[in-house]
Amino acid sequence: MEEHDYLAEKDEKLVALALENAGVYRFLVARYEQRLFRYIMTIAKITRADAEDILQTVFLKAYQNLNDFDPDLKFSSWIYRIAHNETISHLRRFRWHRTRNTELDETLAETLRSDSDIEQELSQKYRAAAVRLALQGLDGKYREVLVLRYLEDRDYREISDILKKPVGTVATLLSRAKRQLREKVAGEKFFTDVTHG
């Protein structure tokens, strides 16, 4: 097969081909590298170097476990689940999630603003900063469902697969996360902190 043929293949086909020829795995890595890196950085609030280390471990573990992949499932959900587990393991080992800060991807801020009444509550100048700070202040379980849904554009079933939670629980977490985010942004003290910080 030519390189462009591999690029056009579905994930599940690439997995089967990678099991026969290890060199094909690089096409899966290329396809998911940026997305998983952004996901890890956003949910973990860690340094780029730590996120790169986690990402390397994710791809290594995924490769080592390709034989266990069920081709009837989505590869994207499977590899995001590995990324989720590795990120949580990293946070548990180092417990940096409360002390490290990372910039939130502006795409998420834009998506969240368009999905809520936040736009009417804050001035144009401080809106992105307010959403970014509010999101960083959310509990990790709420931040993660917002990231998966709005930044990673995952549907409820995929989020359920990644987080290993029932779809109903995902819907509840997402609803609570959006409500808490709106409350944080709408709070007068928060708005004052953003505009004078």
pLDDT for res 156: 92
pLDDT for res 110: 55
**Cα–Cα distance between 20 and 33 in angstroms, integer?**
22
Report the SS3 class of residue 186.
helix
Q: Give the residue among 35, 82, 74 at the shortest CA–CA distance from 58.
A: 82
Domain boundary assignment for the chain? 3-94, 106-196
- Inter-axis angle of helices 127-137 and 188-196, nearest 10: 120
DSSP string, 47-90: -HHHHHHHHHHHHHHHHHTGGG--TTS-HHHHHHHHHHHHHHHH
pLDDT for res 21: 92
pLDDT for res 18: 92
pLDDT for res 153: 83
Query: Is the pLDDT at 129 greater than 50, yes or no?
Result: yes
Residue range 9-35, pLDDT digits in tens: 899 999 999 999 999 999 999 999 999
Q: How many CB atoms are closer than 10 A to CB 152?
A: 20
% of the chain exceeding 90 in pLDDT: 41
**pLDDT band of 149, cuts 50, 70, 90:** confident
**pLDDT band of 121, cuts 50, 70, 90:** very low
Measured distance between the N- and C-terminal CA atoms of the chain, rounded to whole angstroms: 56
Q: Give the residue among 21, 146, 10, 18 at the shortest CA–CA distance from 73.
A: 10
| Mean pLDDT score, 50-58 | 94
**Cα–Cα distance between 155 and 127 in angstroms, integer?**
26
Architecture of domain 3-94: Orthogonal Bundle (1.10)
Identify whether the C-beta of residue 178 lies closer than 8 Å to the C-beta of residue 184: no
| Chain position carrying tokens 């997305």 | 35
**Cα–Cα distance between 136 and 104 in angstroms, integer?**
8
| Mean pLDDT score, 169-191 | 78
Query: Is the pLDDT at 92 greater than 70, yes or no?
Result: yes
Architecture of domain 106-196: Orthogonal Bundle (1.10)
Identify whether the C-beta of residue 40 lies closer than 8 Å to the C-beta of residue 51: yes
pLDDT for res 104: 47
**pLDDT band of 99, cuts 50, 70, 90:** very low
